[in-house]
Structure 1
Amino acid sequence: MVRRKAVALYSGGLDSTLAIKLIQNQGIDVTAVHFYTGFCITETKRRRGEKKEDGSHYMNPALRYAARYGFKLEIVDISDEYFNIVTNPKYGYGSNVNPCIDCRAFMYKKAKEIMDEIGADFLVSGEVLNQRPMSQHLKAMKIIEREAGVEGLVVKPLSAKVLPPTIPEIKGWIDRSRLEGIVGRSRKRQLELAKQLGIDEYEQPAGGCCYLTDENFARKYNEVISFQGSISRDDLYLLTIGRHFRLPTGTKVIVTRNEGEGRFIRGLSKNYWFFEPVGKGAVAIAKPIENRELTEEEIKTIADLVARYCKTDETGKINIKYSSPKYSLSLEKKEGIILGEKLQEETLETWRI
């Protein structure tokens, strides 16, 4: 008897973990695939080396739970291609800048490529009918599968009994009666299933683990679009970092909030105007409009802004080092040290995005 293979889209969350277990329990060989987009909140915190309140490190949930439950896992970086999904979604955004329908269709396409490459027979998803308002109602599910070219090939084990039969069910590769019929946002049945299937540890269900669903991220995204008319890849990914300010001159300033962000920003320091204290405190990058040089007044203003988040002397002052980027061979490098004097919070609030 031929052992069937499946590729499962795996976030590391409870639903996708349960979906894989339900399919594995029917003798199917499942390969879990986790797509890295650059916008997972937990993964971004892990890459920055941040720690939780209890002092423990953040971990990629897909890596963590695949290891715990013995899933074969592939992590695929789709961040470069994903930029176009975020900035130009065919089916628009949800309540923030989350292009959920386009996102899901794109991931199905990529999963289908892996399915064909390894000779698998179908795809598996942990989606639950009507759990998410934009992409998990029946009409959206049909659109997504049609756009991805995977109609009839995606088994959703948690809601299978209330969805049209898929090719694997029709052909008898899996037993539909052993799947679930969950509908809606309640997690009661998932928690029962977790006990039954020996899933004793999992991420607590949350409203969104993606920056694109975050209201603050959306506000910063829309500010860049309204100010610049477009957004670059660097602009987009920098929205996940730090405190954001727009000076009256139009210059964008991003000030770090912790050591992890500081390491991230330092890695980009050659591409932007860079500010750091001679001592302890936050670092910052600045992006003038049209890549012009900062004026002496702007350099002083940004130094004062950075000083607000540094350990200053008793008068609120600290020396701030600054350096310019190297936009081209024709521009001379500018660097120096300037005295930063803490700005008042009232001033900062008028510039804060």
Structure 2
Amino acid sequence: MTTALAMISGGLDSTLAAKLVKDQGIEVIGICFKSNFFGEKNALKMVKQIDIPLEVIDFSDAHFEMMKNPKHGYGKNMNPCIDCHAMMMRYCGELLEKFHADFIITGEVLNQRPMSQNRSSLDIVKNESGVGHKILRPLCAKNLNPTQMEIDGLIDREALMDIKGRNRKVQMELAKVWGILDYPSPAGGCKLTEPNYSMRLKDLLDHKENPTKIDLELLKIGRQFRLSKDSKIISTRTEKEGDLLEQCLTGEDLMFLAKDYNGSTVAIIGIATNEDIEFAARITGRYCKGRGEKVVSISYGKDDQSLDRSIDAMPATDEQINNYIIN
């Protein structure tokens, strides 16, 4: 039986591509890649709707090293889409033997994304993956030259599609016909496509050569302010962010809470000077219910169980905040 590995991002296009191939009687195994910037949550939901198995491949370390200096550069933000796709293809190529699979399928659509899915970019991915002769793009196959799989009769080219461009009407209609009703918005799964996250990541890489996984996790939280090369302030927006921030704190970090008012959990990440502590207290005052007061009393310490120090601070002004805020 012919078998294909389907790269499942968790979006609609990759799911439709897998379903299109599956409906030709081909066994389809989903492959989802996990990194510091995207995961398997959406992919797990999508494969259930088309009834295929899913293998999750964690390539976080290799992906992060590539992301710091991608050969083909970044997209609009910090997203190295061309290099990322080529890396995924290489990994899939190594999995062909393991799963006794004949080829790889993706949900790419010609010209849907101007930088990463134009004809030149698709060819770059094909050539640099090392397994270009094994790659099939079912949704736009008729706009491309026939693959060896089509020539050899492993798959019927006439049953493939000729979608192109950014309009997603065809995909949405196809999803409705196939009963795929729960799917995320396009490009919603990768943090590197988000402007604010990308600004924070660039700031981190500018100040720390080898960030840890905790450093990367912290980028997702609250408002962030750069103090120095070795430290920054994070101010949470929600209780959930507060819980996550506490989980990420180390013995070097300091937590701040307003004594008499509900509000943001604030932390200095890294080594703090007395000046840093004063400013963190002012940030804490600014993002609590007492922001309108002249002075707010702030408790601080290593964690919420040892806030044994205090400082009175005037809530920070917008001008002061803007001098330090990362996004």
What TM bracket, shorter-length normalisation? 0.7 to 0.9
TM-aligned CA deviation for residue 66 of structure 1: 1.6
TM-aligned CA deviation for residue 30 of structure 1: 0.6
Alignment of 1:1-20 (within 5 A): 3-20=1-18
Which of 127, 130, 136 aligns to 2:108? It is 127
- 2:139–2:162 contact (8 Å) kept in structure 1: yes
Q: Does 1:25 pair with 2:23?
A: yes
- 1:275–1:284 contact (8 Å) kept in structure 2: yes
State how far apart, in whole Å, the 2-side matches of 1:12 and 1:66 are.
8
After superposition, the Cα gap between the structure-2 partners of 1:158 and 1:340, relative to the gap in structure 1 and judged at 3 Å, is farther
Q: Tell me the equivalent position of 2:163.
A: 182
Q: Does 1:343 pair with 2:323?
A: no
Q: Deviations over 1:227-260 (max 9, x none)?
A: x274624444432222111237973112222122
Alignment of 1:77-96 (within 5 A): 77-96=58-77
Count of aligned pairs? 319
Greater mean alpha carbon deviation, residues 131-140 or residues 294-303: 294-303
Q: Tell me the equivalent position of 1:46.
A: none
After superposition, the Cα gap between the structure-2 partners of 1:180 and 1:272, relative to the gap in structure 1 and judged at 3 Å, is farther
> 3-state SS of the aligned residue for 1:192?
helix
- 1:98–1:212 contact (8 Å) kept in structure 2: yes
> 3-state SS of the aligned residue for 1:261?
helix
Q: Tell me the equivalent position of 2:196.
A: 216
Which of 256, 263, 282 aligns to 2:264? It is 282
State how far apart, in whole Å, the 2-side matches of 1:254 and 1:88 are.
27
TM-aligned CA deviation for residue 262 of structure 1: 1.8
> 3-state SS of the aligned residue for 1:190?
helix
Which of 294, 297, 311 aligns to 2:275? It is 297
State how far apart, in whole Å, the 1-side matches of 2:92 and 2:312 are.
51
> 3-state SS of the aligned residue for 1:164?
coil
| Percent sequence identity over aligned pairs | 38
State how far apart, in whole Å, the 1-side matches of 2:4 and 2:125 are.
19
TM-score normalised according to structure 2 size: 0.88
> 3-state SS of the aligned residue for 1:94?
coil
State how far apart, in whole Å, the 2-side matches of 1:71 and 1:309 are.
47
Q: Does 1:309 pair with 2:291?
A: no
> 3-state SS of the aligned residue for 2:107?
coil
1:26 aligned partner, one-letter code:
Q
Indicate the RMSD between aligned Cα atoms, in angstroms.
2.5
2:264 aligned partner, one-letter code:
A
Which of 239, 245, 255 aligns to 1:265? It is 245
> 3-state SS of the aligned residue for 1:139?
helix
State how far apart, in whole Å, the 2-side matches of 1:68 and 1:190 are.
15
Q: Tell me the equivalent position of 2:83.
A: 102
2:319 aligned partner, one-letter code:
E
> 3-state SS of the aligned residue for 1:19?
helix
TM-aligned CA deviation for residue 38 of structure 1: 2.4
> 3-state SS of the aligned residue for 2:250?
helix
TM-score normalised according to structure 1 size: 0.82
TM-aligned CA deviation for residue 161 of structure 1: 0.6
After superposition, the Cα gap between the structure-2 partners of 1:69 and 1:224, relative to the gap in structure 1 and judged at 3 Å, is same
Q: 5+ unaligned residues in a row in structure 1: which ranges?
A: 44-58, 325-333
- 1:246–1:253 contact (8 Å) kept in structure 2: yes
State how far apart, in whole Å, the 2-side matches of 1:216 and 1:158 are.
32
Q: 5+ unaligned residues in a row in structure 2: which ranges?
A: none
Q: Deviations over 1:96-138 (max 9, x none)?
A: 1111111001111222222221111111100001111222112
> 3-state SS of the aligned residue for 2:319?
helix
